[in-house]
Amino acid sequence: MTKSEKELLKKEVRTYYETHYEDIKQVAKLFKINERTLYNWIQTEKWEKGKLVKNTELKAITKKLLADKDVLDNIGVAKLLIFLNTHIKTLDCNAFLLV
């Protein structure tokens, strides 16, 4: 494998890793690379599992919950906002908009 092919593979693996919540073993198997190599890339370049979809998923969940009248009737808007605020902190989201 040439250096440019390795770099291309590394970019593909990183994109996949940061857009999914799969563990290292599954990702290594999918891309047919050594687990230790993948672990090394993750550690040295500080890759974050699923980081590119965290905010997107949270916003989609929020929109769905706010659109569901039964949810709002059952738990109330205040409780829903407290719940979401708690989970935003848990997910380390930097910003949150109800737009």
pLDDT at position 72 = 62
* Cβ pair 56, 71 in contact under 8 A: no
How many domains, the chain? 2
- Range of 75's domain? 54-90
Closest CA to 87 of 78, 74, 96, 77: 96
In a domain, residue 80? The reply is yes
In a domain, residue 75? The reply is yes
The verdict on 33 and 65 lying in the same domain is no
The verdict on 31 and 61 lying in the same domain is no
The verdict on 13 and 40 lying in the same domain is yes
* pTM confidence score: 0.58
Q: 4-8, 50-54, 65-69, 86-90: which has the highest mean pLDDT?
A: 4-8
Percent of the chain with pLDDT over 90: 40
The verdict on 58 and 41 lying in the same domain is no
Distances (CA, A) of 6 to 2, 23, 34, 51: 6, 21, 13, 23
